[in-house]
Amino acid sequence: MNRIVFHCDIDCFFAAVEIRDNPEYKNKPVIIGADPKLGKGRGVVSTCSYEARKFGLHSGMPISQAYQKCPHGIYLRPNFEKYSKASKKVMEILSLYSEDFQQVGFDEAYLEMTNICLNFDDAKVIAEKIQNEIVEKVGITISIGIAPTKSLAKIATDVNKPNGITIFTPENFKDFLKVMDVTKVPGIGKKSKVYYNKKGFEKIRDILNVPLVKMIELFGKHGEWVWKIVNGHDNRKVKEYDVSRKSISKERTFFEDSNDFNFIFSKIIELNDKINKTIKKHNLSFKTITLKIRFERFKTYTRSKTLSFPISDKEIVIDVILELYNEFSKFKEKVRLIGIKLSNLEENVKNKQTTLMNYA
């Protein structure tokens, strides 16, 4: 029997909730993030509507740059309490469809459907039912990828956004993958893409055409992981993960003290990227974000912000860190050390399960 896994991803989550609550925003570029301050803001875009993306906007983009590209957009600050309520409603609905449910952050989840769906046609019917229920009860849309593995299901989700359903079967998934850019593979980002491109790997078909031994020779364990993903050899279970540590942190001491904001900001980005790799690897969420800053005379300060619900979005971390850093913007001393800590880690909490029989 073929394994069947669902990956469910809420479309433009923050923006979708705002558009739901403000119908006048429909079909307009809605941007959630820092205050652009007429193009002088320091924060970043958390998420944006598809209309905003047509202007080249995307998550993680400096809010000043977003304003330059789309000055007529609707810029809103995040309302975490409202998003938390919407996320909980969606996850409660999803968790009813399978006992093997794994929430990832606030807007994604996996469902193990192997023993629930008769086949991939049946899976499509159930996916449509899920979509309709979420639209009816929560008022936002969700895209669903269906495949024999978790990683393939996640790749499938992006094919037909928004509000789409994409099915990768054991027979057709390589046909879908071969035309895709290598960055569609979880684990290949912008930096590693350059390395892969230099070795002649631009499309996923280039990986599919190479033996595992060659991938290991070229890229080591990372190459082995990537090769197994695109060939459907990912046996990871849909489950919640135990959190064995109370926090994850990284800090950087500068070789020379600096008051150059652009330099300091670049180090904040680097630290956040490193921490995010651990967050992704273990599918963790966090609620508290802490900035640590040490000045040239060794005066050290920490400032924290605790959100109303757990997240795993690195772009929001940057937004909060900049908000906390702003308190020290008037200090005349140079910075010696900068650090980020994420705490109140959670297992991407598994909602209490209720069977469909009981729900009916």
List residues with catalytic annotation: 108
C-beta of residue 63 within 8 angstroms of C-beta of residue 44: yes
Which helix (H) or strand (E) element contains residue 229?
helix 212-230
| Count of CB atoms situated within 10 Å of the CB of 298 | 8
The widest CA-to-CA distance across the chain, in whole angstroms, is: 67
Which helix (H) or strand (E) element contains residue 271?
helix 261-281
Strands 74-76 and 30-33, by their bridges, are parallel
Apex 46 CA angle, 42 and 51, nearest 5: 110
Taken as a whole, the chain contains a residue count of 360
The β-bridge partners of 74 are: 30
Coil, strand, or helix at residue 15?
A: helix
Pair of tokens at residue 208: 């599919």
Residues 6+ apart with CB under 8 A from 198: none
Pair of tokens at residue 120: 């991939």
